[in-house]
């Protein structure tokens, strides 16, 4: 993402970012925008419990404001240090007055000439003193007008990656996510970054700088940075005290019942899951191949049934040939080991970011103390993957996204005449509009799913009431399906709101025969219409390709 930079403000990751700045009260009609200077690294605590930060001498300059009163962010003799894991909120204050972050004035000269300096001031006035609209989050982050000083910096790479963090996004969503006592995420795209705090010196670090990923944070009891490890020993990991609870290190939960998805629960579930009856004709229709499926699928009626297609021939589905030896290792080579993807910690049933390289290492390891499951590796923007994998032809034939955002590789919706239009100004304008439109395209049609043997995903309905195509490239899957009639949908909604839902298997709440079991082997494809409630068990290591799509056949269900 590129941010508009009309003013001559310090650039991120340059020396100019780290000058000392002052809060300058601007015109009274400027809407206040509160934010955090996110404390991502603190200095060693002093004996007085505060950190002294000296203010450098200021050069004379004019503030772009009619007010003459200024309060320096670094002007106080002492800056109070917050409790570990908390967030500093810095505000320039005179008495109890608080000034918004965009009223900062940079006291370091960025212009080499007087003319450039005047031009910079004009830019600041134009953007910051316009009281009609508050600045966007992207603009404020890109301007990054603050003093790094001794705060807001990584203990390894220093202030080079320091950023200003607003309290909330423009839609009111918190931008700092606390994920443990010593871990947090800064959620500003593309600066979504995991930070971890040393439990000894209380300095903050980029996870990448200390070799700790987000998924590991919940497994750490005490994190020690390299400096503190020499005195206090290495990082201490949590002990696995309970294998039947998500909070595996909490002895107070010893007597509580097993939670769905934990190691103990899965082992017990596997003993009896085969007793769940197979689907009838009113649940799922089995087709021997894609030709039979395409003949039987009615494009003029509501799509009600699940289809299990035994052989992909006739689906016009494209996946790598088995002779190509396409494996998880191939995916790691394509994306790179450091590529981050949302990954489910199966025994806790929560999602954390994990590098695909770390997932691969765990997948090939002989020992698996924890199970992980990748369900959301979307690759629509990866040309290498797109050339090898495409959905069944029915998907672009029905999909709203494929119809509204046709691709040149889409034989169903792309108009070949567009390839032969003359290169006129009018055509170029049309293409520009199309490109602007294309940037808003939802990318949910192509997913790669990698699951470890023994993984379980609890009951859910796919997002937006979307339909699903699901092809087993390697391995096996078992689906537990529930027809989306009003009775079961209402029951599922109540179940989702239940306080003890993690201790109850949804299938136990259903009438006899409502829950059905669908076994899918390698080479088979599942087509699931909107609204079906389902859970998934992975009996062996599996590699799956799939995707989601909305269409005209299930609009009422999609709107529920």
- How much is the pLDDT for 127? 43
Contact call for residues 341 and 356 (beta carbons, < 8 A): yes
Token readout for 60 is 């004379």
- How much is the pLDDT for 550? 80
pLDDT-derived band at 176 (thresholds 50, 70, 90) equals: confident
Mean pLDDT of 388-409: 77
Q: What is the pTM of this model?
A: 0.68
DSSP state, 535? E
Task: Give 3-state DSSP helix, strand, coil % of the chain, rounded to 5.
Answer: 30, 20, 50
10 Å CB burial of residue 410 (0-12, 13-18, 19+) is middle
Beta strand segments in 60-143, E: 71-72, 79-80, 104-106
- How much is the pLDDT for 191? 54
Weakest mean pLDDT among 2-6, 376-380, 550-554: 2-6
| Most trustworthy range by pLDDT among 177-181, 460-464, 495-499 | 495-499
Contact call for residues 321 and 343 (beta carbons, < 8 A): no
Token readout for 456 is 């379980």
Mean pLDDT of 333-356: 95
| Most trustworthy range by pLDDT among 164-178, 371-385, 544-558 | 371-385
Partners of 93 in the beta sheet? Answer: none
Q: Domain ranges in the chain?
A: 1-238, 317-390+445-541, 406-438
Token readout for 357 is 């390289």
10 Å CB burial of residue 462 (0-12, 13-18, 19+) is middle
Q: Is the pLDDT of residue 318 over 50?
A: yes
Cβ atoms within 10 Å, residue 392? 22
Q: Is the pLDDT of residue 347 over 70?
A: yes
Weakest mean pLDDT among 335-344, 354-363, 430-439, 462-471: 430-439
Q: Tokens 């320091």, residue?
A: 162
* pLDDT > 70 in the chain, percent: 61
pLDDT-derived band at 311 (thresholds 50, 70, 90) equals: very high
Calpha distance 459→506 (Å, rounded): 7
pLDDT in tens, 187-226: 665 555 788 889 999 888 888 889 999 999 999 999 999 9
- How much is the pLDDT for 33? 39
- How much is the pLDDT for 182? 78
Cβ partners under 8 Å of residue 110, min gap 6: 8, 9, 10, 16, 116, 117, 120
| Most trustworthy range by pLDDT among 55-69, 158-172, 516-530 | 516-530
- How much is the pLDDT for 434? 62
Contact call for residues 506 and 492 (beta carbons, < 8 A): yes
Mean pLDDT of 169-177: 76
Partners of 307 in the beta sheet? Answer: 285, 527
Q: Is the pLDDT of residue 8 over 50?
A: no
Counting Cα atoms < 13 Å in the Cβ hemisphere of 549 gives: 27
pLDDT in tens, 248-306: 999 999 999 999 999 999 999 999 999 999 999 889 999 999 999 999 998 888 888 99
pLDDT in tens, 493-530: 999 999 999 999 999 999 999 999 999 999 999 999 98
Q: Is the pLDDT of residue 454 over 50?
A: yes
Q: Which fold has domain 317-390+445-541?
A: Jelly Rolls (2.60.120)
- How much is the pLDDT for 303? 87
Backbone angles phi, psi at 477, to 5 degrees: -140, 150
Token readout for 224 is 């020690």
* 137 or 402, which is more confident: 402
Weakest mean pLDDT among 7-21, 111-125, 164-178: 7-21
Partners of 343 in the beta sheet? Answer: 352, 374
């Amino acid at each position: 993402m590129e941010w508009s930079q009309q003013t001559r403000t310090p650039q991120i990751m340059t020396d100019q970012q780290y000058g000392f700045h002052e809060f300058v009260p601007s015109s009274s009609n400027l809407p206040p925008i509160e934010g955090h200077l996110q404390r991502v690294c603190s200095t060693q605590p002093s004996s007085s419990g505060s950190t002294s930060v000296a203010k450098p001498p200021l050069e004379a300059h004019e503030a772009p404001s009619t007010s003459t009163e200024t309060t320096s962010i670094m002007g106080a003799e002492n800056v109070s240090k917050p409790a570990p894991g908390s967030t500093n909120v810095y505000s320039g204050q005179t008495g109890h007055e608080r000034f918004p972050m965009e009223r900062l004035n940079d006291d370091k000269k960025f212009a080499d000439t007087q003319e450039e300096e005047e031009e910079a001031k004009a830019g600041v006035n134009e953007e910051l003193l316009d009281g009609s609209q508050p600045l966007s989050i992207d603009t404020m982050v890109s301007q990054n007008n603050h003093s790094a000083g001794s705060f807001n910096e990584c203990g390894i790479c220093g202030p080079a990656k320091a950023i200003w963090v607003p309290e909330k996004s423009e839609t009111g969503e918190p931008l700092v996510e606390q994920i443990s006592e010593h871990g947090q995420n800064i959620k500003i795209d593309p600066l979504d970054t995991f930070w971890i705090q040393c439990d000894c010196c209380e300095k903050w670090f980029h996870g990448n700088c200390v070799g700790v990923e987000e998924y590991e944070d919940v497994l750490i009891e005490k994190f020690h940075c390299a400096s503190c490890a020499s005195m206090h020993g290495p990082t201490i990991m949590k002990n696995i005290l309970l294998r039947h609870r998500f909070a595996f290190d909490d002895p107070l939960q010893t007597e509580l019942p097993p939670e769905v998805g934990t190691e103990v629960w899965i082992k017990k579930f596997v003993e009896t899951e085969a007793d769940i009856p197979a689907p009838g004709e009113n649940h799922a229709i089995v087709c021997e191949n894609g030709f039979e499926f395409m003949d039987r699928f009615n494009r003029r009626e509501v799509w009600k049934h699940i289809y299990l297609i035994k052989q992909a021939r006739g689906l016009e589905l494209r996946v790598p040939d088995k002779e190509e030896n396409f494996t998880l290792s191939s995916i790691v080579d394509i994306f790179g080991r450091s590529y981050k993807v949302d990954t489910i910690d199966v025994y806790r049933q929560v999602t954390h970011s994990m590098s695909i390289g770390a997932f691969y290492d765990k997948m090939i390891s002989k020992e698996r103390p924890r199970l992980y499951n990748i369900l959301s590796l979307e690759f629509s923007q990866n040309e290498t993957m797109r050339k090898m994998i495409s959905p069944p032809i029915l998907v672009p034939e029905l999909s709203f996204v494929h119809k509204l955002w046709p691709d040149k590789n889409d034989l169903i919706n792309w108009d070949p005449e567009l390839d032969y239009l003359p290169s006129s100004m009018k055509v170029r304008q049309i293409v520009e509009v199309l490109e602007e439109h294309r940037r808003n395209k939802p990318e949910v049609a192509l997913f790669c799913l990698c699951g470890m043997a023994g993984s379980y995903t609890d009951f859910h309905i796919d997002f937006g009431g979307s339909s699903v195509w699901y092809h087993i490239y390697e391995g096996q899957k078992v689906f537990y399906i529930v027809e989306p009639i009003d009775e079961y949908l209402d029951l599922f909604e109540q179940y989702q709101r239940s306080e003890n839902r993690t201790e109850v298997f949804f299938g136990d709440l259903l009438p006899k025969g409502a829950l059905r079991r669908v076994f899918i082997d390698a080479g088979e494809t599942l087509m699931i219409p909107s609204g079906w409630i389902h859970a998934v068990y992975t009996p062996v290591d599996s590699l799956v390709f799939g995707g989601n799509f909305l269409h005209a056949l299930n609009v009422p269900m999609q709107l529920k």
